Amino acid sequence: MSDEDVISQTRAVEQAHALFSQYLATKALCSDEAAKDRLLLNHILAIQSAIYAVHPYPCIAMFRFLYPTITQHPIYKTTILPLLTAKPSSAAQTPPLFLDVGCCVGQVLRQLIVDGVDPTQLTGVDLYQDYLTHGYDLFMDGPDSEHPLKSRLEAGDIFDPIFIADLNGRVTVIHISSVFHLFSWDRQLAVAKRLDELLVNTDEGLIVGSQLGVQGGGELAESHVFRHDSKTFKHLWESVGDGKWDVEVAEHVWDVDLKKHPMKLAREGDVVIVLRFVVKRRV
């Protein structure tokens, strides 16, 4: 392992430490700090190998399954948390629902719980049941554990119109991070249309997320995967419904050495960016 890998691994584990130890503390599972640190490192490395074996996403190699990306979003503290933690104004009002699409081990759900959201408002979905199961192992909150996670986790394909159809028109906040960038333009359009079906039809409903992109946008030749910039991402949503959406996108250049990545993240010469977005339906 190179020095750079060690540094990036150390940073990732440090990032994870904050979430992991806060989460354990909420459950009063472990109070001995030194024991917690030892346990944490071995535990994380074992889970990383297990989930990388399920499907080797580059973000797993980069320990991103430990990082609750939603917290980086400028509206996380100002809008998302207040929305999800607001007390219902009447007994008849149901609490707003949150859905994480492509949730991997469910780190975002656990972060929201740490930040005070009622777990029963939260659903995470992923194509791979094994990611969800390893998520229970990672956070020690499986159905048979002492403190089971009370959120809903479901394995299934977001392209399947029957999957989580009971949530159609009911979700107030949809989070989707590093998922659009896995697909071709047409498949991304299908995902966006599915999110449209799931979102509530009120002015509070929003879709928030982030993904890899490239300046100028464009398709990767071999895979037909489409990489966006702000303009092409807005164009995608215009294709879901012209004039129907307000799309805010911020671009950040990601200083990554593409040659070091085993999987093709972008084309030769591309300037790689991270896109952070909020999509709202005009009501």
Ligand X SMILES: C[S@@+](CC[C@H](N)C(=O)[O-])C[C@H]1O[C@@H](n2cnc3c(N)ncnc32)[C@H](O)[C@@H]1O
For the record, the structure tokens of 222 come out as 């071999």
Shortest distance, CB of residue 225 to ligand X, whole angstroms? 12
Strands (E), 2-106: 97-101
Exactly one of 4, 146, 157, 219 binds ligand X (CB under 6 A); which one?
157
Nearer to ligand X, 83 or 183 (CB): 183
- Residue 58: strand, helix, or coil: helix
Nearer to ligand X, 18 or 59 (CB): 59
**How far is CA 140 from each of CA 40, 115, 135, 146, 188, rounded to the nearest angstrom?**
11, 18, 8, 9, 34
One-letter amino acid for residue 142 of the chain: G
Nearer to ligand X, 234 or 276 (CB): 276
Does 188 bind ligand X (CB under 6 A)? Our answer is no
Pairing of strands 97-101, 171-177: parallel
Nearer to ligand X, 123 or 177 (CB): 177
Does 211 bind ligand X (CB under 6 A)? Our answer is no
Shortest distance, CB of residue 133 to ligand X, whole angstroms? 13
Exactly one of 65, 139, 185, 233 binds ligand X (CB under 6 A); which one?
65
Q: Write the binding mask 114 to 153 for ligand X: x where contact by CB under 6 A, - elsewhere.
A: -----------xxxx--x----------------------
Does 47 bind ligand X (CB under 6 A)? Our answer is no
Question: Which residues does 9 contact at the CB level (< 8 Å), separation at least 6?
Answer: 1, 63
Does 52 bind ligand X (CB under 6 A)? Our answer is no
Nearer to ligand X, 23 or 65 (CB): 65
Residue 219: φ, ψ to 5°: -100, 140
* Cα separation, 273 vs 214, whole angstroms: 5
